[in-house]
Amino acid sequence: GRSPIHHAVLYGDSQTTRLLLDMGIDVNTPATDGRTPILLASIEGHADIVDILIEHGCHINHVYFSAITPLSVASDRKHYKVIQRLLDAGAD
């Protein structure tokens, strides 16, 4: 299952994402499948959500299934705005 933060991120709802994080939701909370909000935002190409998650201190180099990172999925899907934001924040 997914929590409200995961649903907000998946649907690109920046207002709800920011509200939940401002209320104290952990920015790095994984869904039951292990995917974190930053990974989901990178998969979906939601650059504005990526910015919000970075502002709230997410782990931008989170590794999913031993090799998948937010930067790698954004690159695979050619989400150039997300790639730039991740690189600007120090992703590798």
Q: For the chain, what are the domain ranges?
A: 4-88
Q: Categorize the per-residue pLDDT at 66 as very low, low, confident or very high, splitting at 50, 70 and 90.
A: confident
Give the integer Cα–Cα distance in Å for 44 and 4: 16
With pLDDT > 70 as the criterion, what percentage of the chain qualifies?
A: 100
- pLDDT tens-digit profile of 35-59? 999 999 999 999 999 999 999 999 9
Q: Check pLDDT > 80 for residue 1.
A: no
Give the integer Cα–Cα distance in Å for 78 and 74: 6
Q: Other CB atoms closer than 10 Å to residue 27's CB: what's the count?
A: 20
CATH number of 4-88: 1.25.40.20
User: Token pair 């990974």 is at which residue?
Assistant: 39
